[in-house]
């Protein structure tokens, strides 16, 4: 008796049919289950025409595309963990941490890195560290990883590896994919990051040109409303320019780029610079009287004495001058409008990595009118405290600092948006009265 053909969806015992994936997307999702379980920050996405891994490394600037023939890539992903705080792969089977460096040709001063190998002992454990060829796993991941937005992580250093993979072998010249390996290290995120921070110090201490392990601190998760783009609601069709202070314009240009901490400090320096030369109205009037005297040049010694006497009328300390510049130059209502976009950053305590805590400067129920002119003094005190915690070894009051972490940059962003408004007014209106 001839048996009917076996149903491919039936298991060997013939009990229940084996579920058949409905699509390439469903099959890929099932096959990548191990990777997705290990890398919980990543998410499988089905876009219809293609499927991809969203947020590999927990990084929203990248996507890992999954081709229809995905088995080779899946085998690679089965054995890697993509750490959020590092541009690296941790190989789960060998316990090696592969820090992504470059596939571009090295500069002459850096070529000696290839083959550098040493042992590093820290916290009771010794690990072999070396600069050597990157793994095939990294090359395969780079081949399928695409940048999708601007990045604060440098797209995990993958650009050169992506270019390397797309370049025919005969045109690669001296390109060589190099990684920095830390061998046989158990995975504990906090301990590995601490290990890397100490390793960075020792590597750069003994070789000032040594590459360092990039550390990407966890995001604060706080959503920040973008700052004001148009100061007057739209770009004006006619602008009447005036001669402005060259130093202030240089600081303004420097503040237009860089991380939030760098930008904040340059904007702060604009206000600080202007306040250094500030004179209150009585002293300013006295100086003007001396300068306006018709016999100004007749007796220079007497003129200098009168100028010194006029300047001595100023009894304001540094803080008073700083606040006076804010009150005189800054549109406090514009400052308030900018604060209102991210009010929790100003009405609740802000806890920074490094231990510094910035107290609220307004109550959640405060109005524009209540903030008023005194708001400049409150705002001035807060930005001085931020500046001290950023630039000094420790804030003098709290003995704490603001570390240059990704989380702190996000927490600082609303303050950068507001100090931009204040600093712009200082550049524009200083010495215009």
Whether 20 shows a pLDDT value over 60: the answer reads no
pLDDT at position 290 is 66
Band of pLDDT at residue 396, cut at 50, 70 and 90: low
Q: E strand or H helix at 147, and its extent?
A: strand 145-147
pLDDT of residue 324: 86
Report whether 147 contacts 161 (CB < 8 A). no
As a whole number of angstroms, the distance between CA 325 and CA 15 comes to 84
The CA radius of gyration of the chain, in Å to the nearest whole number, is: 30
State both tokens at 259.
């991380």
**Rounded CA separation 79/38 (Å):** 9
Q: What CA–CA distance (Å, rounded) separates 158 from 15?
A: 48
Q: Which of 94-108, 180-194, 283-297, 330-344 has the lowest mean pLDDT?
A: 283-297
Torsion sign, CA atoms 16, 18, 20, 21: positive
Count how many residues are written for the chain.
433
The answer to whether the CB of 127 falls within 8 A of the CB of 67 is no
Predicted confidence (pLDDT) at residue 112 exceeds the cutoff of 50: yes
The tens digit of pLDDT for each residue in 281-323 reads 556 666 666 676 776 676 677 776 766 665 665 666 789 889 9
Mean pLDDT of 261-267: 95
Own/partner pairs, 296-301, CB within 8 angstroms, 24+ separation: none
Looking at residue 215, what DSSP letter applies? B
Predicted confidence (pLDDT) at residue 376 exceeds the cutoff of 90: no
Contact (CB, 8 A) for 376 and 322: no
User: Residue 359 has what DSSP assignment?
Assistant: P
∠231-233-238 over CA atoms, to 5°? 80
The answer, as to whether pTM is greater than 0.75, is: no
| Residue range 213-241: mean pLDDT, rounded | 82
Confidence band for 228, pLDDT divided at 50, 70 and 90: confident
Closest CA to 430 of 244, 253, 288: 244
Looking at residue 288, its pLDDT comes to 66
Distance CA 136, CA 44 (A): 23
Tokens representing 364 are 């959640």
pLDDT at 29 over 90: yes
At a CB cut-off of 8 Å and minimum separation 6, what does 162 contact? Answer: 142, 143, 145, 146
């Amino acid at each position: 008796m001839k048996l009917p053909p076996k149903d491919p969806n039936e298991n060997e015992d013939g009990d229940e049919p084996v579920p058949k994936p409905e699509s390439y997307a469903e099959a890929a999702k099932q096959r990548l289950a191990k990777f997705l379980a290990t890398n919980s920050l990543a998410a499988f996405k089905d876009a219809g025409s293609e499927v991809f891994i969203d947020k590999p490394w927990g990084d929203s600037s990248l996507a890992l595309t999954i081709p229809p023939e995905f088995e080779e890539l899946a085998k690679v992903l089965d054995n890697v963990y993509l750490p959020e705080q590092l541009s690296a792969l941790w190989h789960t089977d060998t316990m090696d941490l592969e820090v992504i460096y470059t596939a571009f040709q090295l500069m002459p001063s850096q070529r000696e890195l290839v083959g550098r190998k040493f042992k590093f002992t820290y916290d009771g454990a010794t690990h072999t560290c070396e600069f050597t060829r990157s793994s095939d796993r990294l090359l395969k991941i780079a081949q399928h990883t695409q940048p999708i937005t601007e990045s604060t992580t440098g797209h995990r250093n993958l650009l050169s590896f992506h270019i390397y993979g797309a370049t025919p072998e005969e045109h690669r010249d001296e390109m060589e994919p190099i990684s920095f390996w830390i061998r046989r290290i158990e995975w504990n995120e906090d301990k590995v990051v601490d290990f890397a921070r100490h390793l960075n110090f020792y590597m750069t201490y003994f070789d000032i040109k040594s590459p360092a392990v990039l550390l990407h601190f966890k995001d604060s998760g706080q959503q920040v409303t973008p700052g004001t783009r148009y100061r007057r609601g739209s770009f004006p069709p006619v602008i009447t320019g005036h001669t402005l202070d060259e130093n202030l314009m240089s600081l303004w240009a420097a503040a237009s780029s860089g991380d939030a901490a760098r930008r904040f400090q340059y904007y702060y320096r604009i206000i600080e610079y202007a306040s250094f030369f500030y004179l209150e109205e009585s002293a300013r009037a006295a100086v003007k009287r001396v300068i306006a005297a018709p016999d100004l040049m007749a007796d220079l010694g007497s003129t200098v004495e009168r100028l010194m006497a006029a300047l001595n009328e100023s009894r304001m300390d540094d803080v008073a001058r700083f606040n006076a510049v804010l009150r005189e130059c800054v549109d406090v209502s514009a400052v308030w409008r900018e604060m209102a976009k991210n009010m929790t950053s100003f009405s609740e305590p802000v806890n920074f990595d490094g231990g510094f805590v910035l107290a609220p400067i307004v109550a959640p129920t405060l109005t524009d009118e209540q903030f008023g002119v005194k708001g400049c003094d409150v705002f001035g005190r807060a930005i001085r405290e931020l500046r001290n915690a950023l630039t000094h070894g420790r804030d003098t009051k709290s003995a704490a600092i603001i570390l240059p972490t990704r989380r702190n940059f996000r927490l600082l962003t609303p303050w950068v948006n507001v100090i931009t408004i204040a600093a712009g007014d200082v550049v524009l209106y200083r010495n215009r009265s």
